[in-house]
Amino acid sequence: MIDKYLPYSTQWIEEDDIDAVVDVLRGTYLTTGPTIDAFERAFAEYVGAPYAVAFSSGTAALHAAVLAAGIGPGDEVITTPMTFAATSNAVLYAGGVPVFADIRPDTYNIDVADVERKITSRTKALLPVDYTGQPADLGPLRELADQYRLLLIEDAAHALGATYRGRRVGSIADMTIFSFHPVKHITTGEGGMVTTHREDLAERLRLIRSHGIVRDPTKWSKNEGPWYYEMHDLGYNYRMTDIQAALGLSQLKKVDRFIVLRKKYAAMYNAAFADNDALIVPYQSPDGSSSWHLYVLRLRLEALSITRREIFDALIRENIGVNVHYIPVYWHPYYAGLGYRRGLCPEAERHYEAIITLPLYPKMIERDVIDVIDAIDRIVKRGKR
């Protein structure tokens, strides 16, 4: 057993991050100030998109993107069940209908052929997820979206810094969503971002973020005086604070360093497990370069006499904070109550039954990775048929 509990992921806050936050606290603007603009500009530049709009969470960013896409009651959005519930919940918030397409058996990303089978006259958007940090099949998805006149909204909560065919995630889809929860690549405590190449969508996103209130006088129906403003849409308060933006701006400077470490540790896991016939290391498509939010190890259950649960529990007993990403979203009782049934996406269900997420975050040290490898080797060797 290792001495110190290793979580599956955690933030890395350094002194300069703390100083950046304290500077804002000593300043004039705690929210809606210049640090938000600076963070948005730096983020847009990093991913290579013309526009970036900050939100109070990745979930708020998803909700706003779905609304900006014009999705409303009865509109269908095709997404993956192998994700955090927030992805499809955002569609439900808007009154839309999430339609789940199955995953590919190799990358575990949404299967484009199944996406096409599920397109109907009511489909309005495709909502793929870059599972574990590996970009979804954005080229074929773009082609489908263009062919059927759909919006492509990418949930890249796992994929800050990832690339697809040489382009950074965030510069490809119509809208791309990021999260700054502490387990993600960079953190603002809570926070999110939408990037887009479309000015009209950026404007809608800003409107939705702040109550639907229009500040530009040229867009008002009238002007009653210096105090005047108009609300044109039912928006929300989904704003990020300048305190959070200062942390985000400081963290963004480190994202490449963080990803180098994530890739190094993932490569150590891959090298250690590649020859073990009871384990399946994460397949990487040549189209993309993952930014490795998660390391999901898949078990070849037929080669083992112990269960996933037994391996999971044994790792927890060793102080290794393993996890499972994810329970197929439509298995949750809420979704079952909406009429979604088990068996809908067999590949995703098989995947769920056989996976364990291992610790992976930049603040780990090599010794931690070796400890995890040793524990897996021991536990799996014991359980081999």
Ligand X SMILES: *Cc1c(COP(=O)(O)O)cnc(C)c1O
Binding site for ligand X (CB under 6 A): 57-59, 83-84, 86-87, 129, 155, 157-158, 179, 181, 192
* Distance (Å, whole) CA 368 – CA 359: 9
Nearer to ligand X, 154 or 349 (CB): 154
Nearer to ligand X, 104 or 158 (CB): 158
Nearer to ligand X, 206 or 293 (CB): 293
- Least distance to ligand X from the beta carbon of 265, Å? 19
Nearer to ligand X, 110 or 314 (CB): 110
Interior CA angle at 26 toward 23 and 32, to 5°? Answer: 80
- Least distance to ligand X from the beta carbon of 1, Å? 29
* Distance (Å, whole) CA 380 – CA 385: 10
**Strand pairing of 163-164 and 288-289?**
antiparallel
* Distance (Å, whole) CA 359 – CA 231: 46
- Least distance to ligand X from the beta carbon of 127, Å? 10
Judge contact between 307 and 355, C-beta under 8 A: no
- Least distance to ligand X from the beta carbon of 380, Å? 27
- Least distance to ligand X from the beta carbon of 379, Å? 27
Instruction: Tell me the residue number closest to ligand X, measured at CB.
Output: 58
* Distance (Å, whole) CA 381 – CA 209: 52
Nearer to ligand X, 154 or 371 (CB): 154
**Number of other residues whose CB lies within 10 A of the CB of residue 28:** 8
Nearer to ligand X, 79 or 289 (CB): 79
For the record, the structure tokens of 110 come out as: 């949404």
For the record, the structure tokens of 197 come out as: 């190449």
Task: Count Cα neighbours of 170 within 13 Å in the Cβ-side half-sphere.
Answer: 30
For the record, the structure tokens of 194 come out as: 């939408």
Nearer to ligand X, 181 or 239 (CB): 181
Task: Count Cα neighbours of 85 within 13 Å in the Cβ-side half-sphere.
Answer: 10
Residue for token pair 């990303």:
109
- Least distance to ligand X from the beta carbon of 352, Å? 15
CA distances from 276 to 110, 309, 312 (A): 27, 19, 17
- Least distance to ligand X from the beta carbon of 72, Å? 21
